[in-house]
Amino acid sequence: MESLALLTTLSSQDKESILSLATDYQAGNVFGGSQSGDIHVWSLRTFFPVTRLVGHESSVLCLTISVERSLLFSSSGDNTVRVWDTNQFGNALYVVKPPIDSCGDVLSLVWCNQLSILYLGCQDTSIQWICLPQSLTNRANGSKKGNDICGSAAMTRSNSSAPTIEHSISSPSGTHTLPAGPSSQDGFTSSACLSPNQQSNRSLHHKFFDSMSQSELLKAARRRERNNSQSPHLNAISPELGTDFQSKLRDPLEDACSVDGNQKDDGGEILFIDHKDSVTYAHFGYIYCLLLISLNDQLLLISGSGDSTIKVWTLDPQTGALSPNFKLLSAISSSHLAPSTASPQSSEDLGAVLTLAAYGSTLYSGYQDGVIKIWDLDTLTCIRTLFHRGSTDQTHPSSKDSDDVLTMTVLDNGELFSGCSSGVIIRWDSSFQRVLKWQSHQGSALASCFVLHQGKRLLLTGGSDNCIKIWDVYHTEASVPRVVTDDPDIKDPAGTAMAFQDRMFRHLSQFVSYRSISNEEHREECRQAALYLKTTLVKLGLVISLTLPGDPGRNPLVLATFKGKSSTDSPTTATRRRRVLYYGHYDVVQAGDEKDWTAPAFVMTGHNGWLYGRGVTDNKGPTLAVAYAVTALLDQRSLDVDVVMLVEGEEEAGSAGFQKAVKENKELIGHIDVVLVSNSYWLDDETPCMTFGLRGVIHATVKVTSSQPDLHSGMHGGAVHEPVLDLVRILGDLVGKDGKICLDGFYKGVRPIDAEEQKHYDRIVEHISNVANIELLKHSPITSIRENLIAKWRQPSLSIHKIDVTGPAHSTVIPASAQSAVSIRIVPDQSVEKIGSSLVSFLTEAFKHLNSSNALEVKINQTADWWLGHPQDLHSVALAECVEEEWGIKPLWIREGGSIPSIPFLEQEFNAKAIHLPMGSASDSAHLPNERIKMVNLEKGNHVVANFLKKVALI
């Protein structure tokens, strides 16, 4: 089943259904009302959780927003509406309560910006309204600045007789469309601003019949206390709840009978709706959905109900009151209005009207029986009936057309998206033809909304599977549908530039799908991954693209060259263009047990701003981010340097054949001025870093073999020299009691710390102390941050990784052979050759002292030299400046304890200094289950590289 491109998934730790949605397009935030009663907030820019709004004691059934006033309105099953400040994110500003507590759930909301009135659709079949206090109505329109449009904001028609429909917001009861307009008229007040004693005709709260039971109060108090204490994902601006248990148990009557009119409820002032500001029996069923439009210069409120009817109410332009002369749209009697689309079900009761949406003078209504009716509001006639499931002929239902239509959203070009209780979403074009259908949620699709953010059209859906999904509606900034295909290389039909997120992430998704594990079993997958990368780079604009052979039976290298502008085009390169070599790798490590992954390892998924999948951070994601940085400059005709990309497929297996391939093709690669690497990680998840040092490594195998076969310990134990015992004894001699490595002259070559490096450690220690990062000190007895880092980054170390034996793994067998994997990490200015030779000599001499009849073999399998960068080098300074410009903070200069063999080799081979830009963060879990990387890290890493290439041209 085809679908829109899924950008990411958002979810909270509460694991509750998302019942309602709203977006603040100017601030770039998403609001999700949950079944637990909380409103979760995510950033549209990073897809990260921002905070959680706590106050409701039951499910948040509807959300609507006034972007101009920076106000969010939420209704709940707790019989209240809360008003939130979307700038401050704290406790609710106001708690709106109906005149009587028996109205039940507040199922739907709609906000009139012109009258500053909020309309409520209630479970008791009433429609109520309230004018907000002057302090809110005076909030300046357009107080925020932004270039994005939310919902149907772009649908304003030039014809004054056509309706103005803006800010389409969805909830479980439907899509609410809000008109923007001037602030409320001066001097207009409402009884909402009066105290209960000033409302003479107000129905009083009955202390016995209308109060909550003690069990209900206790349950609500415990839920709020739990929310307050179990919120590790909230940031500093999250609302804080009171913890006084007695205050949570106070009698509700005390709130209702305060005489000063300034009662507080969780920090918010209580506003009461006057009983006069309501229509008590607006329908003969629950008011599931409300919609507000302006048609022919007249404000209309449209309500949908459980009685299968839709009513169109005229609003008083001064008071906002509903006129009693409503117009009725009935699904039961609408079949004669549209004979061409009539069906056997058209004359039947279609169930409740659960959702409404509008575009121009066209009204869409979604029903409980899986039917969507389309109405002409000018003539008040039903012009079309659509069936949410069944055959492609939308005028004839199938036997399965019974899924409730729970949510609808209209785009700014008239396209309609409808979601139902089975989780299926259907896309209808402006001619009411079904063009796409897909399974959006594992459960019901409960809410939806549309937002235009940073040039991208996004559809947001919330479901009973406890998450929000963000779908890419179009590839480009133009309002044209894209071709829906699984091939990420399909070009946009309009031919316009696609956003970085869109193309890059789709290519990365395909790149991750290749199981390019650098071993014999996956050799063909690696070759296909190399060919895919080569093809992708060709499409991005490179001039030369080759796959270079490595060692026989090993994975190929990909060599790609992007040419900058010619010297005649660029005055800054009058002599010779600068050339930058990017080094990366496309191979990955094994995924391990798939059960340890939350999603398939080789299927890229997005969640709360992170991308998950094997290779997303090591090293496929950063490699594509660099490629797209070059492409962006090519598209802008701003590439004034040559960029050579050298991407190998054996890095995770020791880079076999890499040096040979580079030497054989050195002339083809050409002169290099600087080597760029992005294969490292930050100290934490928030602070950008620059890596300027890596340790070297020596990998060795130590093997002790007996001339005898496997023996039984009961028969031969004590009478023979056992290989395992010999191996353990000589390995134990490698490290003294003080933990120091005992190789002769081992520490003489270690370079002392200079004053400049001490400054880097000073800043790192200060930073870590401020953020209280205890993760850095985990698993180590060294409690000093500075000494811990020095031990891991710039001191040599020795590790024994494993011991293997021959024969059966039985506790009575003396193995005939035993071997161990040993590694030594070396640092400047130790010599890899001398240390390797010293290891062999030391073990050989130690074995002689055993006078054993067994044989010893020490084999050096692989070596890599250490690398030390130069933070004061012009290229390093330029890259650090780009990082600071993009992230708004100076990067930390760090070293790492790992090794990348190719970096020192490339420096020596091309006589060019290397610089290392980490894009990953500390919790990326490279080589582990659930490997991930932040989407924003790839985006900003892309921007950093693009700006760096501009600076290189000027060096």
pLDDT tens readout for residues 46-60: 999 999 999 999 999
Amino acid residing at 890: K
pLDDT exceeds 70 at position 345: no
pLDDT exceeds 90 at position 471: yes
**Cβ neighbourhood burial of 736 (10 Å; 0-12, 13-18, 19+):** exposed
- DSSP structural state of residue 115: T
pLDDT, residue 139, reads 57
pLDDT, residue 147, reads 34
Q: What is the mean pLDDT of residues 676-700?
A: 96
pTM for the predicted model, two decimal places: 0.77
pLDDT, residue 314, reads 95
pLDDT exceeds 80 at position 780: no
pLDDT, residue 855, reads 97
Q: Which residue has the higher pLDDT, 333 or 40?
A: 40
Q: What is the mean pLDDT of residues 577-606?
A: 95
pLDDT exceeds 90 at position 238: no
Q: What is the mean pLDDT of residues 292-306?
A: 94
Chain mean pLDDT for the chain: 82
pLDDT, residue 544, reads 77
Going by pLDDT thresholds of 50, 70 and 90, the confidence category of residue 332 is: low
Q: What is the DSSP string of 668-714?
A: HH---SEEEE---B-SSSSS-EEEEEE-EEEEEEEEEE-SS--EEHH
Q: What is the mean pLDDT of residues 465-484?
A: 62
Strand 579-585 to strand 416-420: parallel, antiparallel, or no bridges (unpaired)? Answer: unpaired
pLDDT, residue 771, reads 62
Element (H, E) at 526: helix 523-539
* pLDDT, tens digit, 9 for 90 and up, residues 882-893: 999 999 999 999
- Of the candidates 535, 675, 515, the one whose C-alpha atom is nearest the C-alpha of residue 586 is 515
Q: What is the mean pLDDT of residues 20-26?
A: 95
Strand 689-694 to strand 867-868: parallel, antiparallel, or no bridges (unpaired)? Answer: antiparallel
pLDDT, residue 408, reads 97
Going by pLDDT thresholds of 50, 70 and 90, the confidence category of residue 13 is: confident
Going by pLDDT thresholds of 50, 70 and 90, the confidence category of residue 348 is: low
Going by pLDDT thresholds of 50, 70 and 90, the confidence category of residue 501 is: low
Three-state DSSP state, 533: helix
Three-state DSSP state, 361: coil
pLDDT, residue 886, reads 97
Element (H, E) at 67: none
Q: Is the peptide bond before 147 cis (omega within 30 degrees of 0)?
A: no
Whole-number Å distance between alpha carbons of 541 and 537:
7
pLDDT above 90: percentage of residues in the chain? 66
Going by pLDDT thresholds of 50, 70 and 90, the confidence category of residue 223 is: low
Domains of the chain: 5-202+274-498 (2.130.10.10), 501-694+867-952 (3.40.630.10), 696-750+795-854 (3.30.70.360)
pLDDT exceeds 50 at position 393: no
The sign one gets for the Cα dihedral 656, 659, 665, 668 is: positive
**CB 386 within 8 Å of CB 431:** no
